[in-house]
A and B are shown apart, each in its own frame.
Chain A
Amino acid sequence: MKLAVVVQRYGADISGGAELHARYVAEHLARHVDLDVLTTCARDYVTWRDEIPSGVERVNGISVFRFPVDHTRRPRAFARHSERVFEHRHSLADELAWLDSEGPTSPALVRHVKAVQAEYDYFIFFSYRYYHAYYGIRAVPSKALLVPTAERDPAIGISLFQPIFRSARAIMYNSHEERAMIRAVSGNADVPGVVVGVGSEVPDRVQPERFRRKLNVRTRFAIYVGRIDENKGCKELFDFFLRYLTRMPSDLTLALIGSSVLPIPPHPRIRYLGSLSDEDKFDAIAAADVLIMPSYYESLSMVALEAWALGRPVLANGRCDVLRGQCLRSNAGLYYDNYDEFAEALYRVQTDRALAEALGQNGRRFYCQHYAWPIIERKYLDVLDQLQAEDRRARRAAPLEPLPGWFARRQKTLAPARGVMNQLPAGPAMDGRTGKDRDHG
């Protein structure tokens, strides 16, 4: 079997969530099947500027084919299109313009996918919201598997993507919440879908004391790992944590790891450690009392999974359905919707060692049962085997719905994407259904 992973960026030094996910999956599947990666020459996810030469290169033993991007992203045009599509009644042409302005617009990549479709058995497209996935799946619908990495943001309400969700041969979801959301928005219940997620390269042995010595961290601390950005909930985290320090009797420090695009409050109990190596990062997580995950939008939090793999409890933002669902399903993390819950939950985890230990143990068990690499690989291979069996029986997916005509595309009949998103079922998916009401009960 020969596979192609198609993703917007790819590289050993590219650590974005979906891109890292794609690389991990590609490297692990390459142990079982023949696999190539098709991607763009971009490195920066904001500009999508061509920074890596086009052509073929080897990354960790995998052939990577790179194709140039037609134009960089123009932020003003993208903002204007986003405003129109997310907030106002609009047309299909507006959505296509939005997709084009979002980038990375690489027709060469799509042309290549179409040209080499006979060489590959299946194409695994990552991130539904980008140009390569939309046009790539339209090019080879009968061989397309989709890893949507969808979050609960307005892009999910764009009508352009609904035929894509219905036409892919199979969808590999990151979480139950993501599956419920995509099924609700597109009605693709008959498309084979598996909740897979992704594993992590967690080392077998970690040394928390080495981290403490190396970075001179002597107190107990909570940790945040990731981009320090307002969109990731860090501003709220700082606000909550500073209030927590003034109102609760605590000796806890907040350690921050990752690149920062947000000013960090100058406070002796907030320590910014910068970007660390993977070894130091895992040591730090293992040394922490708790990992805090303040993000509102996640399709799957790899950091939370890493913390669980290392036996540490997680305190997550409960307004993110996926994180909340993971905490509930794993029984390995607490969550908060507001400051009061943040303070109480953090205080509980900090003061009740037995509880923290138990949460950590549950997390380790949850990780081993669902997110260990052998399990992830098995799920992918099972789906591929199932598709091959269907192909042998000449059972193919439904044909892709054609795009409407020139005039129909320009009729402003589509509802604002944000409104569509707001109407989708919310809350953690427990046993295949969403359950916000029971959660607040």
Chain B
Amino acid sequence: MADFSIRSDSVNVEEIMGQIRARIREKRGVDYTEQEIRELAAVKLEKFLDPTKVRSDLLEQFRQLQRQQLSPNIELDEETLFGSPRSWVRRARRWLRPILKLFLNPVPLMRASRVNETMVRHAELFYELVHNLVVETTRLGIEVKTLKMRVESLSSRLDFDERRARALEGVVQYRPATPAQEAAPGAARKDEDEAEAESGASRGRRRRRRRGRRGGGQRGGAEESAATGDTAQAAREDRPRAEAPPAGEGEPGDRSVGHAPPPETTRDVTATPASTRSEPPPREAGHAPEQDPGDREPGS
């Protein structure tokens, strides 16, 4: 996030507001004004969020209308033209109809009425189609804007976290070596060797512990496979990745591990029924950590 540099003795609010607006334009990246965005948001709320008003068969109706173009839907004939709900008016018009026809020709009027009706229906459908397109486009536009704002927000948060992390790193102090270590380099070297050996041992322990944990973590998958009877699958999942031999070295007929032979523990699993594996084999002090309990006891 770019920061502005302002001298405290020469503050100009107009300039600062200009900077702020420029930054907003930069972030927003589009030419919508706030008013336009509000109008778009209002369209979304008023029109689109009412699903009962969205006609799902609009296209079908449009096609039907195209097929029955210019079909009359209002019978505008002489009866309707010269008719009336009042009987005496109707009667008078019927008597005077020949005279009335001398003054006007109702036929084109009837045709025009039909054409007009069809056009009105067309216009309504077009309007609805265009309206829905506009609304959908608006909705998408707003969603895009929302997503952009969210990305911007995440970006600013990331910036903030990075700055915070840098600040925290700056706070951490470097601790120099003690004077005793500087005075006796031989002793220090020895100490380092011992520490290295110790750390090597602890690394080994850590590795073993981690391996054991990983095996334990996969136990669930093995259990599931064993429960469904797919022992091969169980063996596949139980085999630790680090101990897997290279591809192509396995027996050709062994489908449980593909081309690689399963490790010994896996073979135990496939060979031994679950009921006979309730008792774990005795462990030796040195080797016990090497064997993953998950490998040995998939059913427990």
Interface residues of A in 301-342 (CB under 8 A from B): 327-328, 330-335, 337-338, 340-341
A328 and B13 in contact, given A340-B28, A352-B6, A354-B6 (Cβ under 8 angstroms):
yes
**Nearest-Cβ distance from residue A322 to partner chain B, whole angstroms:** 15
Decide if A345 is an interface residue (CB 8 Å cutoff).
yes
CB pair B13–A344 under 8 Å, yes or no, is no
| Interface of chain A: mostly helix, strand, loop or mixed | helix
For the complex, give the distance between the alpha carbons of A344 and B7 in Å.
19
**Nearest-Cβ distance from residue A404 to partner chain B, whole angstroms:** 40
Task: Select B24's contact among A249, A344, A361, beta carbons within 8 Å.
Answer: A344
CB pair B13–A331 under 8 Å, yes or no, is yes
For the complex, give the distance between the alpha carbons of A348 and B17 in Å.
11
A338 and B20 in contact, given A328-B13, A357-B8 (Cβ under 8 angstroms):
no
CB pair A333–B13 under 8 Å, yes or no, is yes
CB pair B12–A249 under 8 Å, yes or no, is no
B6: nearest residue on chain A (CB-CB)?
A355
Decide if B23 is an interface residue (CB 8 Å cutoff).
yes
Decide if A362 is an interface residue (CB 8 Å cutoff).
yes
A248: nearest residue on chain B (CB-CB)?
B156
Interface string of B28-72 (1 = CB under 8 A from A): 100000100000000000000000000000000000000000000
For the complex, give the distance between the alpha carbons of A333 and B20 in Å.
13
What residues of A have a CB within 8 angstroms of the CB of B13 in the complex? 327-328, 330-335, 359
A335 and B17 in contact, given A340-B24, A344-B24, A358-B11 (Cβ under 8 angstroms):
yes
CB pair B11–A247 under 8 Å, yes or no, is no
Interface string of B1-33 (1 = CB under 8 A from A): 001101111011110110011011001100000
For the complex, give the distance between the alpha carbons of A344 and B13 in Å.
14
Task: Select A338's contact among B3, B17, B34, B149, beta carbons within 8 Å.
Answer: B34
For the complex, give the distance between the alpha carbons of A359 and B16 in Å.
11
A332: nearest residue on chain B (CB-CB)?
B13
CB pair A345–B20 under 8 Å, yes or no, is yes
Interface residues of A in 20-70 (CB under 8 A from B): none
A348 and B9 in contact, given A337-B34, A340-B24, A340-B28 (Cβ under 8 angstroms):
no
Task: Select B11's contact among A338, A351, A355, beta carbons within 8 Å.
Answer: A355
Task: Select A247's contact among B21, B149, B159, beta carbons within 8 Å.
Answer: B149
Number of interface residues, chain A, beta carbon within 8 A? 29
Decide if B157 is an interface residue (CB 8 Å cutoff).
yes
A338: nearest residue on chain B (CB-CB)?
B34
Decide if B278 is an interface residue (CB 8 Å cutoff).
no
What residues of B have a CB within 8 angstroms of the CB of A354 in the complex? 6, 8
For the complex, give the distance between the alpha carbons of A244 and B12 in Å.
25
What residues of B have a CB within 8 angstroms of the CB of A340 in the complex? 24, 27-28, 34
CB pair B156–A249 under 8 Å, yes or no, is yes
Decide if B126 is an interface residue (CB 8 Å cutoff).
no
B24: nearest residue on chain A (CB-CB)?
A340
Task: Select B20's contact among A247, A327, A334, beta carbons within 8 Å.
Answer: A334
For the complex, give the distance between the alpha carbons of A183 and B33 in Å.
31
CB pair A334–B8 under 8 Å, yes or no, is no
B158: nearest residue on chain A (CB-CB)?
A249
Task: Select B9's contact among A249, A328, A358, beta carbons within 8 Å.
Answer: A358
Interface string of B135-171 (1 = CB under 8 A from A): 0000000000000010001001101100000000000
For the complex, give the distance between the alpha carbons of A426 and B237 in Å.
75
For the complex, give the distance between the alpha carbons of A333 and B34 in Å.
22
For the complex, give the distance between the alpha carbons of A327 and B20 in Å.
15
**Nearest-Cβ distance from residue B76 to partner chain A, whole angstroms:** 42
What residues of B have a CB within 8 angstroms of the CB of A361 in the complex? 8
What residues of B have a CB within 8 angstroms of the CB of A362 in the complex? 11
Interface string of A237-267 (1 = CB under 8 A from B): 0000000001111000000000000000000
What residues of A have a CB within 8 angstroms of the CB of B4 in the complex? 348, 352
Task: Select A334's contact among B16, B27, B34, beta carbons within 8 Å.
Answer: B16
A438: nearest residue on chain B (CB-CB)?
B14
What residues of A have a CB within 8 angstroms of the CB of B156 in the complex? 247-249
**Nearest-Cβ distance from residue A277 to partner chain B, whole angstroms:** 32
**Nearest-Cβ distance from residue A162 to partner chain B, whole angstroms:** 31
For the complex, give the distance between the alpha carbons of A332 and B8 in Å.
11
A359 and B11 in contact, given A338-B34, A340-B28 (Cβ under 8 angstroms):
yes
CB pair B17–A249 under 8 Å, yes or no, is no
**Nearest-Cβ distance from residue B21 to partner chain A, whole angstroms:** 7
For the complex, give the distance between the alpha carbons of A331 and B8 in Å.
11
What residues of B have a CB within 8 angstroms of the CB of A351 in the complex? 3
For the complex, give the distance between the alpha carbons of A338 and B9 in Å.
28
Interface string of A350-381 (1 = CB under 8 A from B): 01101101110110000000000000000000
The residue in B8, B27, B159 that gathers the most chain A C-beta atoms within 10 A of its C-beta is B8
CB pair B157–A358 under 8 Å, yes or no, is no
For the complex, give the distance between the alpha carbons of A355 and B7 in Å.
8
A358: nearest residue on chain B (CB-CB)?
B8
B18: nearest residue on chain A (CB-CB)?
A441
Interface string of A285-307 (1 = CB under 8 A from B): 00000000000000000000000
CB pair B11–A341 under 8 Å, yes or no, is no
What residues of B have a CB within 8 angstroms of the CB of A333 in the complex? 13
CB pair A348–B20 under 8 Å, yes or no, is yes
CB pair B160–A249 under 8 Å, yes or no, is yes
**Nearest-Cβ distance from residue B219 to partner chain A, whole angstroms:** 42
CB pair B28–A331 under 8 Å, yes or no, is no
What residues of A have a CB within 8 angstroms of the CB of B3 in the complex? 351-352
**Nearest-Cβ distance from residue B156 to partner chain A, whole angstroms:** 6
A358 and B6 in contact, given A249-B156, A334-B20, A345-B20 (Cβ under 8 angstroms):
yes
CB pair A331–B11 under 8 Å, yes or no, is yes
What residues of A have a CB within 8 angstroms of the CB of B23 in the complex? 344
CB pair B160–A328 under 8 Å, yes or no, is no
For the complex, give the distance between the alpha carbons of A333 and B16 in Å.
10
A348 and B16 in contact, given A340-B28, A341-B24 (Cβ under 8 angstroms):
yes
For the complex, give the distance between the alpha carbons of A335 and B16 in Å.
10
The residue in B17, B20, B21, B34 that gathers the most chain A C-beta atoms within 10 A of its C-beta is B17
Task: Select A331's contact among B12, B24, B34, B157, beta carbons within 8 Å.
Answer: B12
Interface residues of B in 78-127 (CB under 8 A from A): none
For the complex, give the distance between the alpha carbons of A331 and B6 in Å.
13
For the complex, give the distance between the alpha carbons of A247 and B16 in Å.
21
For the complex, give the distance between the alpha carbons of A358 and B5 in Å.
13
CB pair A341–B20 under 8 Å, yes or no, is yes
Apart from the given pairs A337-B34, A344-B23, A355-B6, 8 other A-B contacts in the complex at a CB distance below 8 Å: A246-B153, A247-B156, A340-B27, A344-B20, A354-B8, A357-B8, A358-B6, A362-B11
Can you list 9 A-B contacts with CB-CB less than 8 angstroms, sorted by A residue number? A247-B149, A249-B160, A327-B13, A328-B13, A330-B13, A334-B16, A345-B17, A352-B4, A358-B6
